[in-house]
Amino acid sequence: MERMQHVIARARAAFNSGRSRPLEFRIQQLKSLERMVQEKEKEILAALHADLHKSGPNAYSHEILGVLGELALAMEKLPSWAAPQPVKKNLMTMRDEVFVNFEPLGVVLIIGAWNYPFVLIMQPLIGAIAAGNAVVVKPSEVSENTAKLVADLLPQYLDRELYPVVTGGVPETTELLTQRFDHILYTGNSAVGKIVMAAAAKHLTPVTLELGGKSPCYIDKDCDLAVACRRITWGKYMNCGQTCIAPDYILCDPSIQSQVVENIKATLQEFYGEDVKSSPDYERIVNKRHFKRIMGLLEGQKIAHGGESDEASCFIAPTILTDVSPDSKVMEEEIFGPVLPIVTMKSVEEAIDFINCREKPLALYVFSNNKKLIRRVISETSSGGMTGNDVLMHSVVPDLPFGGVGNSGMGAYHGRYSFETFSHRRACLIKDLKMEVVNKLRYPPGSQEKVDL
């Protein structure tokens, strides 16, 4: 614990020295990170495979590709992001300098999650470094191989005092949260999100909370079911369902339910072959605790497909449940596993009401050929983000802010938004000491004349 305080104090001293502020320094650190990702690609993929049984191509495209993209974007745009922004002046300030300065916050804390353990540390880290901060990095202990790798690699490539890695579980994180930071970005679940925010409140520390929820997926009768189901299958079973923006459950008319099931089954065959367990492209549940939790959700459900499991290897087959009751356990919590419940809805109104009487989700999906229907679903619901006629993809558009609302979180990041999240926008007005005559209008003694002017 003392060591942790010492590490944070050292980061603060390093920040106070000012060396993380010059753009050249920040870009040099980002370049170094880029080198790390390129040079240690094999090790990173190996860690991801060990933690989640993630295949090389999968791991590369879900974790490494995104990180390289963010690094390239940050390095290219940093000069323009960090430049003082002049703003509109009024008559009184016409001759003055009026601008917004983007300044680092200080020492920030990033708490990662285990499901995309590399990118969920790296993407915020890139923004935090770009914004000129010192950063304490706390990877999730659940994805222990990636945590260990991050702890080993970052000090080899980055300034050791400015960007320390702290490892550990709940006790260490609790201790970490008693310390004072200038921003905390946490990715994880809502229950812990509340704990993080309450701890932050003691120090008036602003937070970005990337949480979760049950992301609904509405399939309209009027749509190309084969295409819709292929896209949904991809997003749902990617990383064995352990994706915060995975389509959690399906809402559709009872008349198309069995077609949906057939289409998903066909797609699963296409993606993973006859024997899913032996497909190198299918991941595993991260640990026994989550395995048991997800298996528990199947109790009493109508299993239309899948259901097979193997505890020893934390394998759960891609599973589809039909005619699921809204009151069942599988409809209470975020599934975070390869189980896809279908709840039937007689109309889009019913679906909208259903979605709206639940917590606001991180993502929302709607499939339809009817553009008016899609527009309606967007405007009559709320969610962190959404994609129409596909899943997950809004999260890869770099200029879209990525974050939740309500129970699914607060704040947003990705691309420029990461930079802004970790920056303070300081309003600046610089006048000169002359032109005092203009000021006389505002000085007492007051008069109606002055007021009218």
Partner 1 sequence: NPYAGLVSHLRASWLSRKTRPMEYRVTQLEALGRFLDEKKQVVLEATAADMGKPPFEVELSETLLCKNELHETLNNLSHWMKDKQVDRPLATRLDSAFIRKEPYGVVLIIAPWNYPIYLILGPLIGAIAAGNCVIIKPSEISKNTERLIAEALPQYLDKDCFAVVTGGVQETTRLLENKFDYIFYTGSPSVGRIVMTAAAKHLTPVTLELGGKNPCYVSDTCNVPNVARRVVWGRFFNAGQTCIAPDYLLCSLEMQEKLLPALRAAIMEFYGPNPQESPDFGRIVGDKQFQRVRRLLCSGRVAIGGQTDEAERYIAPTILVDVQPSDPIMQEEIFGPILPIIIVANMDEAIDFINSHERPLAVYAFSSSDKVVNQILERTSSGGFCGNDTLMHVTLTSLPFGGIGNSGLGMYHGKFTFDTFSHHRGCLKRGMGRESLNAPRYPPYSQKKFGIVRATSKVTRKDDCTLL
To the query of whether residue 308 is one of the catalytic residues in this protein, the response is no
83 binds partner 1 (CB under 8 A): no
Site for partner 1 in 24-53 (CB under 8 A): none
To the query of whether residue 244 is one of the catalytic residues in this protein, the response is yes
Would you say 151 or 197 has its CB closer to partner 1?
197
| Catalytic-role residue among 144, 210, 334, 420 | 210
Binding window for partner 1 (CB under 8 A); candidates: 147-155, 224-232, 306-314, 319-327: 224-232
Q: Which of 2, 275, 372, 451 binds partner 1 (CB under 8 A)?
A: 451
Nearest-approach distance from CB 399 to partner 1, in angstroms? 4
Nearest-approach distance from CB 350 to partner 1, in angstroms? 16
Nearest-approach distance from CB 302 to partner 1, in angstroms? 27
447 binds partner 1 (CB under 8 A): yes
Residues in the interface with partner 1 (CB under 8 A) total 107
173 binds partner 1 (CB under 8 A): no
Q: Which of 88, 171, 274, 372 binds partner 1 (CB under 8 A)?
A: 88
Site for partner 1 in 111-150 (CB under 8 A): none
Site for partner 1 in 278-317 (CB under 8 A): 279-282
What phi and psi, each to the nearest 5 degrees, are found at residue 159?
A: -55, 120
Would you say 144 or 248 has its CB closer to partner 1?
248
Would you say 322 or 395 has its CB closer to partner 1?
395
Nearest-approach distance from CB 148 to partner 1, in angstroms? 26
Residue type, 391: V
Residues taking part in catalysis = 210, 244
